[in-house]
Amino acid sequence: MLNENIKVIRKSKGLSQEELAIKLNVVRQTISKWEHGLSVPDSDMLIFISEVLEIPVSTLLGETVTEIKADDIKAISEKLEIINLQLAQRKATRRKTLHWILISLCALIIIISAVLIVLNSPYLEWDYSEPETSVVGVAFHAFEWLFFRLAPLVFIGVIIGIFLTRKKV
């Protein structure tokens, strides 16, 4: 059973005994002995074989493996095509969502800038003798100071992001 599985899977992967032997760092005769049932690989080698052939160890040890037929390949390729389409749709949706988030952020920066310009720093005229007023005034001033230093950089980054996430025709 193991010997037949190794042989069938090796052939289905398009590998010769020599090519498989090179990948496993053994001589071709070792592969031949395994496939003829004259010897068996140890557990470490069995795991290595499964990794090289890209199949689970249970498949190597399980029932006799049949060669993949053209119909099976067609069914697999159809499933892969569906998966690829789903991934492409998901990617397009993420790109579109990010694009609109960036546009919203751009609008928010413009609105906040306009509001701060129109208000013209009213906290500068407040009476700072009260501790609560002082804290609020300093917080407004710190926000305004940081906003007008960081907003242009963020705005440029957002514009670049909008450009990069636009729908390509």
119 CB-side CA count, 13 A? 14
Q: What is the pLDDT of residue 118?
A: 93
> What is the full DSSP assignment across 33-95?
HHHTTS----HHHHHHHHHHHTS-HHHHHSSPPPPPPHHHHHHHHHHHHHHHHHHHHHHHHHH
User: From CA 156, how far away is CA 159, in angstroms rounded?
Assistant: 5
CATH architecture for segment(s) 2-61: Orthogonal Bundle (1.10)
State pTM to two decimals.
0.52
Tokens representing 135? Answer: 């804290």
Q: What is the pLDDT of residue 41?
A: 85
Whole-number mean pLDDT of the chain? 88
Ramachandran quadrant class, 8 (left: phi over 0; alpha: psi -120 to 50; beta: rest): alpha
Q: Which residue has the tokens 């001033």?
A: 141
Give the residue ranges of the chain where pLDDT is below 50.
none
Q: What is the pLDDT of residue 63?
A: 58
User: From CA 51, how far away is CA 60, in angstroms rounded?
Assistant: 11
Q: What is the pLDDT of residue 58?
A: 80
Indicate the domain borders of the chain: 2-61, 86-165
